[in-house]
Amino acid sequence: MSQIVVAVDGPAGSGKSSVSKAAAAQLGFGYLDTGAGYRALTLTALKNNLELDSVGELDLVQIFPYEISTDPANYFVRVGDEDLTLGIRSKEVELNVSRVAAQPKVRAFMREITRSIANGCKSPGIIVEGRDITTVVLPDAKTRVLLTASEEVRLGRRSVDLQSDGSISAQVSDRDKKDSKVVDFLNPAPGVLLLDTTELSFEGSVSALVDLINR
Ligand code: DC
């Protein structure tokens, strides 16, 4: 296992993925995007016409040969022979991923995958980001951070990410609302540091996260 495990949670558009990835690159750490697993499973289910709301009942080891890079300089997501790095960002996935992420069996499966990837990472440290990493997946991580920003700023950051088509803001708020019924990623659990990036630039947010890790 990487010696230093850093857990980062936060809502959509908080910038946690790009900030965590840049901080990992700066520190020479690995980087693990756990949302990608839920997205890749959703896309796999859509491609194979599986029933999204009961995908957790299937043999996930069998239908979902998942692979994700932990190298912040070479990010990719694969399922079997297929590269899904770009496909998992599609609008269809964005609209449906909460249905998949709400299923306890899917969450248990992803929890084990995440722990095993973090365990296998050879870097001196790893930053693992998602929604339930500080609380459920890696509650013993050396540094645990809830990275957030005001709703207005989050919607702005997200629309830049997604090439806004006018409905993005509603989609992001809607997804956060659904997701936060399953796990609380809006309030820091006891012992979790709050990093509010509302007033910070991207570089400022990366430095602030690196400072918290170095502290
Ligand atoms: O971080 P993201 O937007 O790529 O996450 C995609 C979805 O996956 C999001 O709607 C919530 C879910 N998710 C989760 O439930 N738990 C995690 N640890 C990470 C993501």
Residue 182: its pLDDT value, please? Answer: 87
**CB-based pocket (< 6 A), ligand 1:** 12, 34-35, 38-39, 97-98, 101, 130-133, 175, 179
More confident residue, 186 or 96: 96
User: Closest residue (by CA) to atom 15 of ligand 1?
Assistant: 101
- State the closest ligand 1 atom to the C-alpha of 101, by its place in the atom list counted from 1: 15
The tens digit of pLDDT for each residue in 34-92 reads 999 999 999 999 999 999 999 999 999 999 999 999 999 999 999 999 999 999 999 99
Six-digit token string for 207: 């430095």
**Ligand 1 centroid from CA 34, angstroms:** 7
Per-residue pLDDT tens over the stretch 102-161: 999 999 999 999 999 999 999 999 999 999 999 999 999 999 999 999 988 888 877 655
What is the reported pLDDT for 126? 98
Give dist(CA 108, CA 155) in Å, integer.
Answer: 29
Q: Counting atoms of ligand 1 from 1, which one is nearest the CA of 176? A: 10
Answer left, alpha or beta for residue 55, where phi above 0 means left and psi between -120 and 50 means alpha: alpha
Q: Closest Cα partner for 29 from 65, 72, 68, 63?
A: 72
What CATH number is attached to the domain comprising 8?
Answer: 3.40.50.300
User: Closest Cα partner for 27 from 142, 157, 183?
Assistant: 142
**Helix (H), strand (E), coil (C) string for 117-166:** HHHHCCCCEEEEEECCHHHHHCCCCCEEEEEECCHHHHHHHHHHHHCCCC
Query: What is the predicted pLDDT for the residue at 47?
Result: 97
pTM reported for the whole predicted model: 0.94
Token readout for 46 is: 């859509």
Structure tokens at 102: 């709400």
How many A from CA of 88 to the centre of ligand 1? 12
Q: Hey, whose CA ends up nearest to atom 4 of ligand 1?
A: 35
Q: What is the mean pLDDT of residues 195-214?
A: 97
Domain count, the chain: 1
Cα 65 to averaged position of ligand 1 atoms, centre (Å): 19
Domain span holding position 121: 4-214
Atom of ligand 1 nearest to the CA of 36: 4
